[in-house]
Structure 1
Amino acid sequence: MSTLLITGAAGNMGRMLRPLLRRPGRTLRLFDIAAIDDIDTATEEFVLGSVTDREAVDAAVAGVDVVLHLGGLSTEDSWSNILSVNVDGTQAIYEAAVRHGVTRVVTASSNHAVGFWTHDEAGETALAGDVETRPDGFYGWSKAAIEALGRLYHDRFGIDVINLRIGSSFDRPPNYRGLASWMSPADTARLIEASLSARANGFHTVWGVSNNTRGWWSQAQGAVIGYEPEDDSEVFAEELLADHEWTFDDPILQRVGGAFCDHPLGQRM
C-alpha cells in the first residue's frame, strides 16, 4: 500500500493518528473541510473539501489504495445534518471507491451504534464486537447505517470493509465510563494497522478499545484481524473513581452508550 486517504484528518482522531501512521513508502492523503497548516510534505498531501461535495470526494479518492473514513459529525445532531454528512457522505466515499478501484475502506463506526446493549445482557461473556446494532440516537443510528452500507458495498462490489466500533479514543479516558471504553492513541494506531493488513480481508466489525481491566466488550473479533491492544485504562482508575463507585447499577456503566441513551431525540430534530 502506498497512499492512505484519511477523511476528517483535521479532527481529533485524524490529528492524533497522523504521526502514528507515517511509514516509509506510505503517503497520507489528508481530506477535510478545515485547512491543515502543519503538513509534513515528505509524507503527507492535503485535499480541501467536504464529504457532502461529491466532486471533492472523487478528487480525494482518486489514486489512493485504502480509505480510512473518519470524516463526519462525531456527536448527536439534527436528523437532516446526520443524514447529509454521515450517511450521504459515507455513500459518496463508497461510490468513489468503486469508481476508482479502491479495494478497502476502514470506517469509524461507534459504540453508539450498539448503545442500548447492557452489561447484564452480555452476561458472563464479553459483548461481541459484531453484536447486532441497537443505536442510542441519530448519531448512533447513522453509524449503524454506515455499517450496513459497508456490507452492501462488500457484497456487491467486493470491497474489503472494516467497521471500527470505537469507544473513547483520546490521550486519556474522558471520564470514569472511559475505564471500560477507552482506546489509547497507540492502540488506535495498532487497530488501524491491523485493519490495513491481509488478515482483515473481507468484512469485519470490531470493537475499538484498549485492553482495559474494566472492559466488557470482546477482543475476539479484533484478534481475527490481528489487533492486539497493549494499553490499559486502569492507570487512570484511582483518579477517575475518586468521586464515583464502580458499579454496573450505574446506567452510565451498565449500557454501552452510557448517557447517550438518555438524549431526548425530539429536541434535536
Structure 2
Amino acid sequence: MATLLITGAAGRIGSALRPRLLAAGHSLVLFDAREPDPPVGDGERFVPRELHDRAALETAMIGVDTVVHLAGIPTEATWDDIVETNMTGTKDVLEVAAANGVLRVLLASSIHAVGFVAEEHDAPSSVPGDRLPRPDSYYGVSKAVMELLGSLFVDRFEMSIVSARIAAFAPERPHSRRARWVWTSADDLARLVEVTVGLTEPGHHVVWATSRNSGSQVDLTAGERIGFRPVDDAAAVLSDEEFAAMPDEEMRWLGGSMATQPLGEPAP
C-alpha cells in the first residue's frame, strides 16, 4: 500500500476520498489550512499550512509515494487570486514533489478547462478526455495551466502525472441536471487515485474523471488506456422524476453557468 499526500484534504473532495483511501489500506498525509472533519485518525498525519508554505510542503512530502493535489480555489475568482493559488500553488507542489523523488501525481483539473465546448446530448462520447483546452473562465484557464504544468514536469523529470478533469462531483448521488451527464462519484474518483498509485511508466495523462453516466458526451477512452474504468452511473441513482423536478440550468456548454458569469467574479 502507498502513502498519499492529499493537498486540500479538508475540502469536499478530500473529505470524501479520505475514508475510501484508508479503507483501501493507504496511509494519508493531510495538507490544509483548515482542520479536517472528521478529525485525523489512525493512518493519517496532518500538516496544517497554506499551500504557499514551501517548508511545510517539504515536511508533508516526507515518506510520500503519490500526491493527490486538490488544493485551490474551486470556482471563479479574481485573476490575481487564481494565479497565486491555482497556478503558482500547483507549480510549487510539483517542484517539491520532483525534488523529493515523488514521481506520481494526480492533479485535480476540471471540466471548466474545456467548459466552452458545446453540450450536445445527442452526441454521446464525443468529447475525448484529452481534448485541447477551451476554458470558460479564469478558473478554467488555471486548470488548463495545471495540465500544461503536468506535461512540463513529466518531460523534465520523467514523472507519472494524471490530469483529472473532474466534473459535477457529489459523493453519493448527483444533485443537478447537468450532473445527469457529467457526475463524478467519490467511489469512481477513488478508483482513479488507485490507478495513479499504480502507474510505473513516465507519462502525462489528461482524462475525464467522471462516472460512467449513460448517454454522456464525455469519452472515457483516455482514462481506460491507463486502467481507469468507472462504474457508477447517474441514471442508476437519479430517477426520471427526480431529474424533472430539478431547476433548469445553463445547458449550452460543458461548463454550464460558469460560461456566462462575469470573468473574475464568483457565482452569486
The verdict on a shared fold, with TM-score over 0.5 as the criterion, is yes
Does the Cα contact within 8 Å between 2:124 and 2:217 map onto a contact in 1?
A: no
**Under a length normalisation based on structure 2, what TM-score does the superposition of the two structures give?**
0.91
Runs of 5+ in structure 1 lacking a partner? Answer: none
Asked if 1:113 corresponds to 2:113, the answer is yes
Aligned to 1:264: 262
2:245 to 242, 247, 263: 242
Q: 1:114 to 1:200 in 2, by over 3 A?
A: farther
Q: TM-score, normalised by structure 1?
A: 0.90
Which runs of structure 2 are paired with 1:159-174 in the superposition (5 Å)? 159-170=159-170, 171-174=172-175
CA distance, structure 1, for counterparts of residue 45 and residue 251 of structure 2: 41
1:172 corresponds to which letter in structure 2? Answer: R
Partner of 1:104: 104
Q: Per-residue CA shift, 1:152-194, capped at 9, x if unaligned?
A: 1110111111000001111321210110110112111112112
Deviations 1:190-244 (A, max 9, x none): 1211222237752100001111113110010111111111111113142022367
Q: 1:122 to 1:198 in 2, by over 3 A?
A: farther
What's 2:207 paired with?
206
1:219 corresponds in structure 2 to 220
CA distance in 1, matches of 2:40, 2:125: 44
Partner amino acid, structure 2, of 1:240 = F
Q: What is the SS of the residue equivalent to 1:42?
A: coil
Aligned residue for 1:241, secondary structure, equals helix
Separation in structure 2 between the aligned mates of residue 196 and residue 267 of structure 1, nearest angstrom = 36
2:193 partner amino acid = I
C-alpha separation in 2, matches of 1:132 and 1:198: 23
Identity of aligned residues (%): 40
- 2:28 match: 28
Q: Can you give the 5+ residue segments of structure 2 that lack an aligned partner in the other structure?
A: none
In the alignment, which residue of structure 2 is the partner of 1:83? 83
Deviation of 1:266 after TM superposition, in Å, equals 5.9
Confirm whether residue 52 of structure 1 aligns to residue 52 of structure 2. yes
> Residue 136 of structure 1 corresponds to which residue in structure 2?
136
1:185 alignment counterpart: 186
Residues matched between the structures, number = 263
- Point out the more displaced range, 186-195 or 91-100: 186-195
Q: Which residue of 1 aligns with 2:67?
A: 67
Change (3 A) 1:199 1:253: farther
Report the alpha carbon displacement of residue 24 of structure 1 after superposing the two structures with TM.
6.5
Question: RMSD between aligned alpha carbons?
Answer: 2.2
Pick closer, same or farther for the CA change 1:242–1:165 going to 2, 3 Å. Answer: same
Q: Point out 4+ residue stretches in structure 1 off by more than 3 angstroms.
A: 37-41, 119-125
Distance of 2:18 and 2:246 partners within structure 1: 35
Inter-partner Cα distance in structure 2 for 1:72 and 1:266: 15
The separation in 2 between residues aligned to 1:217 and 1:24, in whole angstroms, is 28
Rounded to whole Å, the distance in 1 between the matches of 2:182 and 2:221 is: 16
SS at structure 1 position matched to 2:173 = coil
Contact kept in structure 1, 2:77 and 2:265, CA below 8 Å: no
More helix by share: 1
Supply the AA of the counterpart residue of 2:161: V
8 Å Cα contact 1:10-1:32 kept in structure 2 = yes
Q: How far apart are the structure 2 equivalents of 1:24 and 1:209?
A: 20
